[in-house]
Amino acid sequence: MVDELVDEGLPLDPGWRAAFEAVPRHVFLPWLFEQLDNGSWKLITDSDPEWLRSVYRNRVAVTQLDGDESRRESALAGPVHGTPTCSSSEPAIMAIMLAALDVCTGNSVLEIGAGTGYNAALMCHRLGEHRVTTVDVDPANAARAAEHLAACGFHPTCIAADGARGYPVNAPYDRVLGTCSVSTIPLAWLEQTAPGGHIVTTLNRQLGAGLVKLTPDGERRATGRVLAEDGRFMPLRAHRGPKASDLVDRLRGAQARQRPTDLSATRLLRPAERFEFFAGLSLPHVMAWSGAHGETWLAHPDGSWARYSHHSVRQGGPRQLWSIAEGAHEEWLALERPPRERFGLTVSPAGQEFWLDRPDSPHRWPLD
């Protein structure tokens, strides 16, 4: 697994490479769920022949469904359906985020989202267990993470707590790492980060998600950048929204006139497309869902919707979502197609907003 990370050119300095080589991922994954083609989840345990091979793939490993521990027991009898609520992140994105933390010897770190404990173990190996604090809102996850960490000889602060509030007991921290996505940056994270420290997290946005790195100034204000690397994580439980499929189910019978469009669903929604991040600035809280026969939906909780298929679109509700996307694409072209790394973010009690190139840019968009 580590050789694969190195071959892909991921930013593993000697300290992080040593951590990945030394910390056994399988200790943190005595079971995992793998999704089948029909959308159901198959449970793989340490008694299955494919277990180790699955554990050491460079991919996310889902460990909990629907926040319900009993789903694992049900899966012993056969595949089950559910929504992932805990996982061990893909090692590649873990390496990217740990590198972005830019840690130094002696730094203390607060991790939001203990999960299995594997990421905290990597930080314990690099920084020392007494400099790592990890919290998880789910008591079962926190307790299991502590057990896994102890099995590897690590005893950091590992407790059940609401990550949106940080953990003031051990503050201030030199670094804060959010391994779950957030709709807005919790101000408690700024307050608990030492001035000049860094916050690295991901954004809970189906359109325009990704990694951000912020530097607080000690005055409840932080500025930073959107990172070039894309990253998508399960949301902080307090920041969850409705499911895209549920919104679409409520709107499925809606009718509207069809018209042609030059904006494809691929250009709008594919994270590898440069436009996707910019589209998210103009379509906050909009969700996408792909159905059969090449059909793609956009939906918003206010009842706005658009249905794209084969270069044509129908739309309705309070706002014309596809028309907004088309306007955003024209603006993006006029701005010379900026990629995500040209954008920054300012956070303060007065508000949170993106900007293009510099904090005083005339081009600004609210985060929330």
Tell me which of 47, 54, 74, 89 is the catalytic residue.
89
Please indicate whether residue 361 is annotated as part of the active site: no
- Nearest C-alpha neighbor of 340 from the set 356, 361, 322: 356
CA 349 to chain CA centroid, nearest Å: 23
CA 34 to chain CA centroid, nearest Å: 19
Q: How far apart are CA 347 and CA 368, in angstroms?
A: 11
DSSP class of residue 90 equals: P
In the sheet with 84-88, reading across from the earlier edge strand, the strands are: 41-45, 31-35, 61-65, 84-88
* 234: amino acid identity, one letter: M
Rounded to 5°, the CA angle 94-64-175 comes to 30
Pairing of strands 173-182, 193-203: parallel
CB atoms within 10 A of CB 184: 15
- Nearest C-alpha neighbor of 132 from the set 151, 154, 116: 154
Residues designated catalytic: 89
